[in-house]
Amino acid sequence: MYKRMLVPLDGSTLAEVLMEYAVKLTSVMGIETIVLNVLGPEEKALLPLHQAYVERAAEKIVAASGDRPVKAWGEVVIGSPVDSIKKFARKNNIDFVLMATHGRSGFSRIVMGSVADALLRESRIPIWLIRAGIPEKKVKDTSREGRVMLLLDGSKKAEASLPHVEELAKQLGPEFTDVVLVSVCSQPEVASDYPSDMPMSWDEHVAAEQERCQLDTSNYLKETAVQLEQKGIKASYEVLMGNPAVEIVDYANRNNFSLIVMATHGRSGFSRWAFGSVAEKVLMGVTTPILLVRTK
């Protein structure tokens, strides 16, 4: 069960796109929220000012949560963003970190890099990423739909994200309407040494492989969807064909999802997604928040 959420803020307008989203999660899920600000050692004299900033942010979360009693407070720590967020999360039993993908100069270069990477690699704390720099209305409108896209590839590592989807369904309740399981069949790369005397031409071989992949993937996703349905979660599935990043971005933008959930490791088709080109392209290509779960 998710009990405690960490929200790093740095005072920028972009980072504060998190605030309304944090209010929604805090009130609907009934979790405790800690607003964290990280100061560099050279900014130590500004600590009282920054403490007031995070306390005001926490007060806004509580005030905006309406009649539902919630708990939120602010903390300021001194150090590097990477180490400070990681240590604070571990020490305070944080269940997931809600972060913007851009902020001021200290954060904009690292959120999709060393900070998120360090948290996932070393602490295994899921990271809920909100793409800052987009109209807040888009984030709010998308979050109302309550549909979740779960990316799977057939591996046990990728399935580490399933318990998180199940927990979200429990805590979000009516706000969580259904989950769409999505996987991608990539076109095989042209083999330079493909024998000319094979029964099938290369094009026929590719078509056969795609047909096989689509059938196997459909059967796998259907079975997984049935398992979710048995737990009371409405589920469907979709098999995409082509370049993973392009197809996922296109599918996400054609359908209204509240969240995309993906594991940071999987088999060869997904193993490069963690913080490589696919994950970054998906993040930058959609306005939908993304929950990244580190697998063992």
Q: Identify the CATH number of the domain in which residue 187 sits.
A: 3.40.50.620
Same domain for 75 and 16? yes
28 occurs within a structural domain: yes
Highest mean pLDDT among 28-37, 170-179, 280-289: 28-37
Average pLDDT, the chain: 79
Do 151 and 105 sit in the same domain of this protein?
A: no
Cβ(157)–Cβ(265) below 8 Å: yes
Examine the domain organization and report whether 263 and 186 are in the same domain.
yes
Of the residues 133, 163, 195, the one at which a domain ends: 133
Residue type, 38: V
Nearest-angstrom CA–CA distance, 87 and 90: 5
AA identity, residue 74: G
Positive or negative, the CA dihedral 142, 143, 147, 149 is positive
Which contiguous run of DSSP H or E holds residue 174?
A: none
Q: What is the model's pLDDT at position 226?
A: 97
For 44, the token pair is 């130590």
pLDDT of residue 225: 97
| Residue bearing the bigger pLDDT, 64 or 239 | 239
Separation between Cα atoms, residue 73 and residue 81, nearest integer Å: 19
The pLDDT tens digits for 64-101 are 877 778 899 999 999 988 889 888 998 999 999 998 76
Distance (Å, rounded) from C-alpha 221 to C-alpha 258?
20
Residues 25 and 82 in one domain: yes
How far apart (Å, rounded) are the C-alpha atoms in residues 140 and 283? 17
Query: CA torsion, points 171, 173, 175, 180, in degrees to nearest 10?
Result: 90
Query: 62 with 150, same domain?
Result: no
For residues 247 and 164, membership in a common domain is answered with: yes
Within this chain, do residues 201 and 78 fall inside the same structural domain, yes or no?
no
Q: Could you tell me which residues are beta bridge partners of residue 235? A: 179
- Confirm if 72 and 32 have CB atoms less than 8 A apart: yes
Asked whether residue 293 is assigned to any structural domain, the reply reads no
Average pLDDT over residues 181-202: 68
Q: What is the mean pLDDT of residues 30-55?
A: 91
Residue scoring higher pLDDT (190 or 229) = 229
In the chain the beta strands, taken as DSSP E runs, fall at 4-8, 32-39, 72-78, 96-100, 127-130, 147-151, 178-185, 235-241, 259-263, 290-293
Model confidence band, residue 111 (pLDDT cutoffs 50, 70, 90): very low
Q: Where are the beta strands (DSSP E) in 1-93?
A: 4-8, 32-39, 72-78
**Are 165 and 123 within one domain?**
no
- CA nearest 29: which of 57, 59, 71? 71
Question: How many other CB atoms are found less than 10 A from the CB of residue 242?
Answer: 14
User: What are 16-39's pLDDT values in tens digits?
Assistant: 678 888 888 998 888 999 999 999
Assigned domain for 152 exists: yes
pLDDT at residue number 65: 78
Asked which of 67, 100, 133 is the last residue of a domain, the reply is: 133
Q: Looking at the structure, do residues 43 and 73 belong to the same domain, yes or no? A: yes
Split at pLDDT 50, 70, 90, the class of 135 is: low
Q: Which residues contact 255 (CB under 8 A, 6 or more apart)?
A: 147, 149, 180
Residue of higher predicted confidence among 132 and 40: 40
Q: Are residues 148 and 284 in the same domain?
A: yes
Q: What is the pLDDT of residue 141?
A: 46
Domain count, the chain: 2
Let me know whether 105 and 17 are in one domain. yes
pLDDT at 120 over 90: no
Return the pLDDT at 56.
93
pLDDT at 187 over 90: no
Q: Residue 240's domain spans which residues? A: 144-288
User: Which of 100, 56, 60 shows the shortest CA–CA distance to 74?
Assistant: 56
105: its two tokens: 């100069």
Q: What is the pTM of this model?
A: 0.83
Domain boundary among 109, 133, 157: 133
Do 166 and 74 fall within a single domain?
A: no
